[in-house]
Structure 1
Amino acid sequence: MEHILSLSYGKDSLACLGAIEELGWPLDRIVHAEVWATDTIPADLPPMVEFKEKADQIIKERWGIEVEHVSTGRTFEEGFYYRRGRTGRRTKFFGKRYGWPMRKGQWCLQQLKRPALDKIGDKTIQYIGIATDEPNRFGTLSDVKVSPLVEAGWDEAYCRRWCEENDLLSPIYTTATRGGCWFCHNQGVNQLRSLRKNYPELWALMLKWDEDSPVAFHADGHTVHDFDERFRMEDEHLLIPGDTKFKWDMLKDDMLNYRWF
């Protein structure tokens, strides 16, 4: 029975290394499911790509294990444009491309991450990064899927501190509370604003995908184009970035009523 750490490079995932060490548990392999946006563009932003390389080196030097980067061989863009209904029952989406993942039954997880991790084999004990203050995720745990953090009593704050002390804190936490793909539909407005400002070429690709999607980017029905319009109005000082008074109706009403001087 192999003992494998499923690594995402988030603070809780990386802190599992410290918890495993503290508990004295065995660790045979470390596996990361790599996702690509297109054939040539990774799902991680450049600072995260660099951090992963750095973290891999630290892990190899300290724990003597080389991180395995596995992939399904399919990109997000390929899944995005794949048309539903080739098999199975007809639904209202029959014949339409997948487009943006829905909040429930996210195809990106089912097609790009889980199949990659399934390659690690059946006879394994999988370590995953669930902290003690995440009880809503405890249902994921089982005899073959365990959290070293829960067993060691580590909460998210302690995981962050451990990562800082071991030079393994992802740069994503300097601007956001969560990591993930730069095109993720679950990210917050500040991350989207930062993406548009700092990586206009990636933002342009999201706008193109948005035009071709039968599903709205956000579960509340708002599109990438809606966010683009919001950020444009912020650039023109028609809105204040991060203002708590913001309502989506502001994009439709007479914006002179919302001009700030």
Structure 2
Amino acid sequence: MGITKSNEIYSAVSLSGGKDSSCLLILMIEKGLPINCVLYADTGMEFPEMEAHIAKLDDFLFRERGLHITTLRHPHGFEWLMFDVPQQQKRAIERRIAMGQPPTGYGWPGMRVRWCTGQLKTHLITKETNRLKKEKNALHHIGIAADEAHRCKDDPHNRYPLVEWGITEAQALQICYDRGYDWGGLYEIYRRASCWCCPLQRIDELRKLRHHHPELWARLLDMDNRARAMFGPGPLGQFKQNWSVERLEARFAREDAETTA
């Protein structure tokens, strides 16, 4: 059922795993809209609950359309990019040497240089959808909600069904909940169900990570210690501008002690 006739439009759907793209996929299946492939970029740094959610969506997609989600992955992954990828530009290498830093690794991503989103998500999805647009004249369906319509790009091959249907972010989440997709409670804890190691998270989100996912918090502490040892206390080596994970650990532990005192 996943293969359309040659004279039909080839339909590709992007799936981030979040509420909006999940809602898009669910409704496209329910409405009987054509789907030829579903593309998901796995960063390798997703919550375990998100991994389970993707597996549940994959079961639904296969049951209804005979398709499996196509998972795209960087050949090496987040930690390799953070610590081991060789610098290519001569000026970058010279600057690293002058600062006493190794000529490998991007260090922690930041607001200005979000290499994680680019290398692990955007580039992979864009490369594949551009190929499908060129080879199959594909339409690319993207899960942007109606109240985020400013993010839509003017591309004749792109489609934004949630915007067309007037479905907001809050409505998209409720639609998923109504169908039994609850991400193991992620959206009841966190504002976003994105990568657990993101330095752009608010302090309160990190406080929740330490409380609800201590095993991931321990990994984050280890990664930050490695980064500071490798790159120093600057933006490459420290998790947040004013906070290392080690300092956050001390802060949260002190808050816990004051609460229980």
AA matched with 1:224: V
2:214 is aligned with 1:200? yes
Q: Which residue of 2 aligns with 1:248?
A: none
User: Is the 8 Å Cα contact of residues 141 and 147 (structure 1) preserved in structure 2?
Assistant: no
AA matched with 1:65: L
AA matched with 2:254: M
AA matched with 1:56: D
User: Is the 8 Å Cα contact of residues 81 and 97 (structure 1) preserved in structure 2?
Assistant: yes
User: Is the 8 Å Cα contact of residues 87 and 105 (structure 2) preserved in structure 1?
Assistant: no
Q: Name which of structure 1's ranges 80-89 and 56-65 shifts more when overlaid on structure 2.
A: 80-89
**Residues 37-88 of structure 1: CA deviation (Å, up to 9, x unaligned):** xxxxxx2232222222222112222343211112122211101103564225
Sort the Cα spacing of 1:198 and 1:176 in 2 relative to 1 into closer, same or farther, 3 A.
closer
Aligned to 1:126, what secondary structure does the other structure show?
strand
Q: CA deviation at 1:96?
A: 5.8
Sort the Cα spacing of 1:125 and 1:15 in 2 relative to 1 into closer, same or farther, 3 A.
same
Mapping for residues 90-239 of structure 1, pairs under 5 Å: 90=92, 92=95, 95=103, 97-117=105-125, 118-120=127-129, 121-123=131-133, 124-138=138-152, 140-171=153-184, 172-211=186-225, 212-213=227-228, 214=231, 215=235, 216-218=238-240, 220-237=241-258
- CA distance in structure 2 between the aligned counterparts of 1:34 and 1:192, rounded to whole angstroms: 22
AA matched with 1:78: W
Q: 2:37 aligned to 29, 38, 60, which one?
A: 29
**Residues 150-190 of structure 1: CA deviation (Å, up to 9, x unaligned):** 11111112111211121223231121121111111223334
- CA distance in structure 2 between the aligned counterparts of 1:200 and 1:164, rounded to whole angstroms: 26
Mapping for residues 70-81 of structure 1, pairs under 5 Å: 70-81=72-83
Sort the Cα spacing of 1:153 and 1:23 in 2 relative to 1 into closer, same or farther, 3 A.
farther
Aligned to 2:147, what secondary structure does the other structure show?
coil
- CA distance in structure 1 between the aligned counterparts of 2:65 and 2:83, rounded to whole angstroms: 41
AA matched with 2:119: Q
* Percent sequence identity over aligned pairs: 29
Structure 2 length as normaliser, TM-score? Answer: 0.77
More helix by share: 2
Q: CA deviation at 1:24?
A: 6.0
| Structure 1, gaps ≥5 residues long | 37-42, 241-259
Aligned to 2:57, what secondary structure does the other structure show?
helix
Structure 1 length as normaliser, TM-score? Answer: 0.77
Aligned to 1:203, what secondary structure does the other structure show?
helix
RMSD over aligned CA atoms reads 2.6
